[in-house]
Structure 1
Amino acid sequence: MKAAQEDSFREFVEGSWHRLLRTAYLLTGDHGAAEDLVQTALMRTYKRWGAIERGDAPEVYVRRVMVNLNISAWRRRRVVEHVVAEPPERPEPGGRGDYQEAHAVRDELWRTVLTMPPRMRTVFVLRYFEDLSEAEVAAVMGCAVGSVKSQVARGLARLRAELRVEGSAR
């Protein structure tokens, strides 16, 4: 690789590392796995950087590589469930500030999103956390816009049902 391309790649990595890491964490739900995902995607991108940097959006390309790598990882990975004797403690309502309540709601929502099947979770991450349009999500995932819409609809129904059930248990 030419020195100018290496400099260009280094600048790209320094400028987009945190955004890519955030996306990877949202896709994997694990900090270590997120770092591995970004590094692997950047290694693959580095090999083709000359062609990629001339394109319109190198970050979109890297995000697509991350999604594809994550999908491949799902297919190889077995789901492991951890069964516990007692459900985790829920904080008592009242007596907490608005910030704490908002954090608790966000945490509950995120835990529910993490229980979604990987493809559905990827659609949610790209659509709602990365704020991509349905067409952009479809392009990143290599599927039809209708597939994105159906995954979103099923996911929202699942979130409503899960949060309603958890909310009524309080």
Structure 2
Amino acid sequence: MDTPEAFDRLLRDRSAALLRTAYLLTGDRHLAEDLLQSALTKTFQRWSTLRDEAAGEAYVRKVMVSIYTRWWQRKWNGERPTAELPDVELLDPYGAADEREYVRRLLTSLPRRQRAVIVLRFYEDMSEKDIAEALEISTGTVKSTASAAMTRLRTMIAEEQGPARVRQYEGGDRP
């Protein structure tokens, strides 16, 4: 039998009926597609030994039932349905940008010295001593300025109910 053309005709003319059979066997659209694909692969490998297209279709059905039976006989069946779905945090693709904009807006509302201390301390990860040298102020002034800035940021976050990730730092040492 002419392999590529006859097999293509079988796919074109009978794939919907074969998929329906697979669906009736599995009860699941995705499993039915997997089952049919597996059966068609095995059938294609044996296509040259089949008499005609009708025999090919019958062979596909036989292979589907055989594969499905093996699936059914296995102890492990892959996924298991559950009554309760696990809580999965969905990532908001714009959430990080929103948070950055929110923090940027908070920082720009601070007086210049407070903003400079916070940026150098938490974004540039500089020590208090290095910040004091860079701004030409004492280490004590850096500490008191950072404390005042953090108090002001926490107050603004609490009043505005900012993004959850930003609010989690209210008790910590980061803006």
TM over 0.5: no
Tell me which structure has the larger Cα radius of gyration: 2
**Structure having greater relative contact order (Cα 8 Å, sep ≥ 6):** 1
State the TM-score, normalizing by the size of structure 2.
Answer: 0.42
